[in-house]
Amino acid sequence: MLKNLTLALALWFLIDWAYTEKIKPFLISEITPTAPSKSKDSTDTSKTKKIKKKDFRFILKDTVTYGLDISHYQGDLINALNKKEDSLYFVICKATEGISFIDPNFVSNWTILKDKKVVRGAYHFYHCDLDPKQQAQHFASVIMDNHFLDVGQLPPVLDIENSGMDGNCGDLETAQKNVLTFLEEVKRLTERIPMIYTNKSTGNKYLNNKEFTAYPLWVAAYTTELTPSSIPTAWNNEWTIWQQSESYSFQDANFDFDIFNGNRLELRKFIRSTIVKK
């Protein structure tokens, strides 16, 4: 009995020694991740250390987010767009114009995009010679019917272009006051902070008042690189969406190609930031 106990203790000590001195050091050297090798001229002499859980970080792959804007001019081609193949995350649809026009494809486009699980937005083409409050009410009524506008979608957009500002706009002060009236009325009715779509020439001519910078900018600039020379001066180089091209070709039709200034998570944060706080 004593002999068996002695033998068992000796075997236990042997196993413990082998694990402590041989097996454990081997496992540590094989399993512990090592740092990337340094270049020959590197002076970093830090020792390799284990990677702890807190050292891991969630890294977003994209730094910008891609989208399109469409109207009835593209017909029903929106049916064929493939969100994954085209790397598209959002689409902005023309909804209204003036005080009575509704884009004939708006409802169908909106429904199709919902089925495709695409983040959606809607815009109104502004006419300076028509009553701004009536235009805002027309726009808001269309996008709010049947929950076209909800908290998961982009804020409503005011489209300001030279062709909509070449009517009887009055003097500059009156024209700017009317645009602000439209924006304030849309904000009141929809409880969302609207965006402004324009280019540099139109923006510098009609939107040079700092009050307009309270509204995020969607800038049209057909160039390979967006620089301060392409952004309306009042926004001080800040932009939210960039319409980079009017010739995104798909099935023999052209779409406007857009870039959001941030990744998809930041787009979602931006959407939440446009909800009016009560």
> Would you state the pLDDT for residue 46?
34
Higher-confidence position of 166 and 202: 202
pLDDT at 237: 93
Give me the pLDDT at residue 178, please.
97
- Nearest CA to 155 out of 120, 185, 203 is that of 120
185 falls in which pLDDT band (50, 70, 90)?
A: very high
Q: Which residues make beta-bridge pairs with 241? A: 218, 260
**What's residue 275's pLDDT?**
95
CATH number of 65-273: 3.20.20.80
Interhelix angle 172-190/132-144, rounded to 10 degrees, is 30
pLDDT at 70: 82
Q: For the segment 100-158, what is each residue's pLDDT rounded down to a tens digit?
A: 999 999 998 888 888 888 899 999 999 999 999 999 999 999 999 867 778 889 999 99
**Hey, what are 112's tokens?**
């199709």
Q: Yes or no: say if 256 and 242 are a contact pair by the CB < 8 Å rule.
A: no
Burial 26-50 (b: 16+ CB within 10 A, else e): eeeeeeeeeeeeeeeeeeeeeeeee
Specify the pLDDT at position 251. 54
Indicate whether 248 pLDDT > 70.
no
Percent of the chain with pLDDT over 90: 51
- Yes or no: say if 70 and 255 are a contact pair by the CB < 8 Å rule: yes
Higher per-residue confidence, 28 vs 97: 97
Q: What percent of the chain has pLDDT over 70?
A: 69
CA distance 263 to 225: 18
140 near 192, Cβ under 8 Å? no
pLDDT-derived band at 221, boundaries 50, 70, 90:
very high
8-64 residue pLDDT tens: 555 655 556 554 555 444 433 333 333 333 333 333 333 323 323 333 233 344 688
Question: Per-residue DSSP letters for the chain?
Answer: -HHHHHHHHHHHHHHHHHIIIIIHHHHHHHHS--PPPPPTT----PPP-PPPGGG-----S-SSEEEEEE-GGGTTGGGG--TTTTT--EEEEEEEETTTEE-TTHHHHHHHHHHTT-EEEEEEE--TTS-HHHHHHHHHHHHHGGG-S-TTSPPPEEE--GGGSSSS--SHHHHHHHHHHHHHHHHHHHSB--EEEE-HHHHHHH--SGGGGGS-EEEE--SSS--GGGS-GGGTT--SEEEEEEEEEETTEEEEEEEESS-HHHHHHHHHHTBPP-
Q: Is-contact 197 158, C-beta < 8 A?
A: yes
Q: Please, which pLDDT band fits residue 83 given cuts at 50, 70 and 90?
A: low
pLDDT band at 252 (very low <50, low <70, confident <90, very high): low
Cβ(76)–Cβ(105) under 8 Å? yes
Give the number of residues written for the chain.
Answer: 278
Mean pLDDT in the chain?
79
Q: Please write down the HEC assignment for all residues of 241-272.
A: EEEEEEEEEECCEEEEEEEECCCHHHHHHHHH
* pTM reported for the whole predicted model: 0.74
pLDDT (0 to 100) of residue 117? 86
Q: Bigger pLDDT: 83 or 232? A: 232
Provide mean pLDDT across the span 221-225: 89
pLDDT interval class at 6 (50, 70, 90): low
CB 194 within 8 A of CB 217: no
Give 221 or 166, the one with higher predicted confidence.
Answer: 221
CA 168 to chain centroid, in Å, comes to: 36
Rounded Cα distance between 94 and 110, Å, is 10
